[in-house]
């Protein structure tokens, strides 16, 4: 009951800061307090004497209070907060939370990293310092599961059925505005133009084969195949990532 009430209060706080830079600036001052409630609910350090192990096993720790959402909304479209008020160790803490998820591509924490790079979204000015910091955290050897998921996007042949488009767009955000430093970091991990083109080719073949295997294939023409490709989220994210890589290549040339 208490946890439910706290979640409702956190949801109100999230709505309070959403789209309001003045409220975002005010709430982010209380970042230390928000950070105390990241992740799952914390179990008490002491229990009543009559509280058995069976009772303890029934205490749910998930979902948490979702204070991550409040922090994320404080960053959205607020360049000043992203540039000046978010410490590196918060990124590391969010990275740990992402790393603990079975599918980091679908978790809420991912959005914080993208906003740190592009507070106002794609097509706007990036924050180069944050791009380097974000990528350094994402590729850390301390976050092995996350690292494997990122590598699998480009270096594995077993991902045709998965849609890790958010991870791809996050990596694109780390190199926006021709960030040569972060592009070189990715290159050193073999996440390159060649690897991206290879993955796009593999996906394209898979998409077109799936079209040919449809029962009504005889009624489908080239327009239907083009539509299938254009609707494929992972493929389109790779197109955006490749465009950013090529932009960096032009800068370095």
Question: With a threshold of 0.75, does the pTM exceed it?
Answer: yes
Q: Residue 1: its pLDDT value, please?
A: 62
Most distant CA atoms of the chain, gap in Å:
72
Residue 15 CB coordination number (10 Å): 14
Q: Tens digits of per-residue pLDDT, 86-101?
A: 999 999 999 999 999 9
Q: Tens digits of per-residue pLDDT, 203-219?
A: 888 888 877 765 554 45
Residue 168 CB coordination number (10 Å): 26
Q: What percent of the chain has pLDDT over 70?
A: 87
Task: Output the CA–CA distances (angstroms, integers) from residue 226 to 159, 163, 216, 223, 229, in the order listed.
Answer: 21, 18, 16, 5, 5
- Confidence check: pLDDT of 222 > 80: no
Q: Tens digits of per-residue pLDDT, 29-64?
A: 999 999 999 987 776 677 777 777 776 676 666 677
Task: Output the CA–CA distances (angstroms, integers) from residue 92 to 35, 56, 132, 136, in the order listed.
Answer: 12, 30, 13, 10
Cα–Cα distance between 176 and 105 in angstroms, integer?
A: 20
Q: Please work out, in degrees rounded to the nearest 5, the angle formed at the alpha carbon of residue 104 by the alpha carbons of 11 and 56.
A: 65
- Confidence check: pLDDT of 197 > 60: yes
Domain residue extents for the chain: 1-43+55-86, 103-253
Q: Tens digits of per-residue pLDDT, 78-89?
A: 999 999 999 999
Cα–Cα distance between 61 and 115 in angstroms, integer?
A: 28
Q: Residue 133: its pLDDT value, please?
A: 97
């Amino acid at each position: 009951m208490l946890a439910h009430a706290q979640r409702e209060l956190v949801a109100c706080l999230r709505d309070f800061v959403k789209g309001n830079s003045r409220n975002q600036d005010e709430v982010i001052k209380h970042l230390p307090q928000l950070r105390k409630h990241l992740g799952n609910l914390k179990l008490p350090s002491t229990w009543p004497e009559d509280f058995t192990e069976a009772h303890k096993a029934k205490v749910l720790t998930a979902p948490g209070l979702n204070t991550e959402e409040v922090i994320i909304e404080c960053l959205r479209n607020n360049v000043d907060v992203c540039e000046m008020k978010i410490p590196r160790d918060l990124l590391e803490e969010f990275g740990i939370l992402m790393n603990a998820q079975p599918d980091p591509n679908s978790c809420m924490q991912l959005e914080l990293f993208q906003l740190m790079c592009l507070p106002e979204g794609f097509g706007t000015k990036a924050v180069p310092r944050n791009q380097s910091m974000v990528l350094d955290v994402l590729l850390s050897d301390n976050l092995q599961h996350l690292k494997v998921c990122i590598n699998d996007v480009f270096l594995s042949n077993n991902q045709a059925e998965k849609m890790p488009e958010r991870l791809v767009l996050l990596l694109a955000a780390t190199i926006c505005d021709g960030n040569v430093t972060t592009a070189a970091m990715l290159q050193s991990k073999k996440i390159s133009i060649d690897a991206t083109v290879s993955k796009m080719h593999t996906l394209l073949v898979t998409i077109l084969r799936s079209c040919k295997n449809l029962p009504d294939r005889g009624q489908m023409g080239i327009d239907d195949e083009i539509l299938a490709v254009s609707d494929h989220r992972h493929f389109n994210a790779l197109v955006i990532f490749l465009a950013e890589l090529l932009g960096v290549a032009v800068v370095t040339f």
